[in-house]
């Protein structure tokens, strides 16, 4: 659900909601997130487990990442996104992001598509590009597909489209090969 037409709000409007409310501010509008499905939460846990277990701490490259889920990242006064997953390179962001709103731009964002697909595919994508987020993953659950994008001056470039059954070194976590099926959670491969 979006705020009433014509009424724009700032990220400060998030203060009026309970911590349990799944709310974002997109283009100055309040957007209530739909309840997640089991498949969505399973994929979120799958990606988080695979990426954090390999790249948390110092990671295989000795630099490491901060990886989090459902944190609200602020991209200006009228954009506050509750990303499914986001990560910050520890060499760039030396202290763990914390608090109800994170002002530091992530180095990687992953969104798992749900009912309001255009939010992730169009609106968020444009803002993430404008703010220079280097890597954007978009996971579609039906059919299962992971789209990997890299920031370029003009637009995000398509790096890869992967499906369960693939194994790949996926930017920005190319230091190790990942089994794509595991990113989707506990699914059976065809």
- pLDDT confidence band for 189 (50 / 70 / 90): low
pLDDT average, residue stretch 32-46: 87
pLDDT at 7: 78
Lookup: tokens for 151: 């920031």
Strand ranges across the sheet with 101-102: 29-32, 23-26, 80-82, 72-74, 101-102
Neighbours of 96 (CB within 10 A): 9
Distance of alpha carbon 25 from its chain centroid, rounded? 15
pLDDT at 1: 38
The residues spanned by each domain of the chain are: 36-183
pLDDT average, residue stretch 124-138: 96
What's domain 36-183's superfamily in CATH? tt1808, chain A (3.90.1570.10)
Tell me the pLDDT tens digit for each residue of 40-96: 999 999 999 999 999 988 877 777 999 999 989 999 999 999 999 999 999 999 999
């Amino acid at each position: 659900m979006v705020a009433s037409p014509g009424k724009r709000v700032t990220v400060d409007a998030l203060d009026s909601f309970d911590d349990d409310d799944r709310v974002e501010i997109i283009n100055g509008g309040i957007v209530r997130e739909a309840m997640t499905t089991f498949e969505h939460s399973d994929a979120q846990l799958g990606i988080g487990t695979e990426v954090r277990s390999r790249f948390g701490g110092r990671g295989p490259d000795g630099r490491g990442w901060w990886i989090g889920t459902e944190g609200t990242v602020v991209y200006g006064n009228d954009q506050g996104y509750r990303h499914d997953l986001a990560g910050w390179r520890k060499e760039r962001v030396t202290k763990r992001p914390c608090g109800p709103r994170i002002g530091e731009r992530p180095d990687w964002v992953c969104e798992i598509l749900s009912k309001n697909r255009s939010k992730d595919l169009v609106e968020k994508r444009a803002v993430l590009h404008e703010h220079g987020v280097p890597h954007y993953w978009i996971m579609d659950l039906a059919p299962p597909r992971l789209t990997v994008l890299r920031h370029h001056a003009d637009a995000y470039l398509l790096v890869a489209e992967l499906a369960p059954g693939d194994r790949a070194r996926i930017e920005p976590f190319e230091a190790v090969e990942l089994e794509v099926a595991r990113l989707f959670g506990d699914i059976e491969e065809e």
